[in-house]
Amino acid sequence: MPEHASAPSHLVDRDPQVTPQQMAAALVPPPQFADASFESYRPDPDYPSQAEVRDTVAAFVASGAGAAAPRRGLFGRRRSAAPEAGAKSGVYLDGGFGVGKTHLLAAAYHAASGRKTFGTFIEYTALVGALGFQGTVDLLRGTALVCIDEFELDDPGDTMMMTRLIKELSETGTRFAATSNTPPGALGEGRFAAQDFLREIQAMSDRFDTLRIDGLDYRRRAVDESAAVVPDVAAALPAGAVTLDDFDAVVAHLGTVHPSKYVALVEGLDAVGLTDARPFTDQTDALRWVALVDRLYDAQVRIVASGTPLDAVYPQSMLDGGYRKKYLRAASRVVALTRAA
């Protein structure tokens, strides 16, 4: 470790306490996207849908209605009845990881007028857990635009809760913008019986229009790289606020901290050091790690690691399952974070 660096602390010693008020106040774009705009979005010329979606989302925000969006539902199904003109209350950005969906979502947040919120799906569900459903409705009522990043339907309870929340808020004039790495028709696929919740899913889909974004992962456009590893993590840690822990110890610690607190867990850090990373054997541990990687990426916290490259910690059996795109997104992000200057 550089001589001018202070002694590292330990991530496993952090046990953040977050109040509902702090959770609500944190519903803003992460620092990485604090200045995101439609103008600063750089579409790949080889994939025209990127520029088209940018322009459609910009028009959605500027007009206050989704009339300019394609006539498709959130889950790609044909609507049983066409809604009244201007009745659609949201846009859903569907595409792979690394095509700029979160940038466009943050741009929509910054361009929107009036009260607005920005958070991941898990942050909104955690808010419901802290405030209760009606308390969350009361808090968000009157919001002009609610941005939901990384929309997920991994849990049937969360599915029904979010559909109710969208329904109640949209009926009072709130509009929505959402992103997901999973094609809308496959949300929940391989994780729970999505067909059992068809009524709730269809009710939500009628309020959104799907915008498909094609393209390559921008984090890997230039060169196909793996996550970097170092022989001596302590020596490679940069100066600043850093932590140093055994990889297995961090994974175990994540099981004691609710994922809604992972933002606070990494707050103020410049880098995290992880020794002896190795492949996962438990899917719950792997999913908690994915949630931590998302928060590290949002905060642009560098990762310095030894052992197995962190984009190779998911066995093929996990990659073949319903969480494949989550794992691939995390793999893409750790490549960027371990190679950050």
* Residue 2 in domain: no
Boundary residue ending a domain (185, 215, 245)? 215
* Residue 301 in domain: yes
Amino acid of residue 124: Y
Task: Please tell me the total count of domains within the chain.
Answer: 2
97 with 231, same domain: the answer is: no
Q: Is 285 exposed, middle or buried (0-12, 13-18, 19+ CB in 10 A)?
A: middle
pLDDT digits (tens, 9 = 90+) for 133-150: 999 999 999 999 999 998
175 with 310, same domain: the answer is: no
Q: Is the pLDDT of residue 86 over 80?
A: no
* Residue 327 in domain: yes
284 with 228, same domain: the answer is: yes
CA separation for the pair 249, 301 (Å, rounded): 19
Helical segments of 151-229, H only: 156-170, 198-205
Range of the domain at 259: 11-16+222-338
* Residue 37 in domain: no
278 with 334, same domain: the answer is: yes
pLDDT digits (tens, 9 = 90+) for 180-205: 765 444 444 443 334 444 555 566 66
- Under the banding of pLDDT at 50, 70 and 90, the label for residue 105 is very high
186 with 311, same domain: the answer is: no
Q: How many CB atoms lie within 10 A of CB 193?
A: 10
Boundary residue ending a domain (215, 231, 262)? 215
190 with 208, same domain: the answer is: yes
Higher-confidence position of 63 and 174: 174
pLDDT digits (tens, 9 = 90+) for 7-60: 789 999 999 988 888 888 889 998 889 999 999 999 999 999 999 999 999 999
- Map residue 178 onto helix, strand or coil: strand
Dihedral (CA of 77, 81, 86, 90) sign: negative
What average pLDDT is seen over the chain? Answer: 82
Amino acid of residue 183: P
* Residue 256 in domain: yes
* Residue 191 in domain: yes
180 with 232, same domain: the answer is: no
243 with 261, same domain: the answer is: yes
pTM: 0.75
Task: Among 148-157, 205-214, 325-334, name the most confident range.
Answer: 325-334
Rounded to 5 degrees, what angle do the CA atoms 296, 301, 306 make? 90
| pLDDT of the residue at 235 | 95
* Residue 30 in domain: no
Q: Domain containing 185 — which CATH number?
A: 3.40.50.300
* Residue 160 in domain: yes
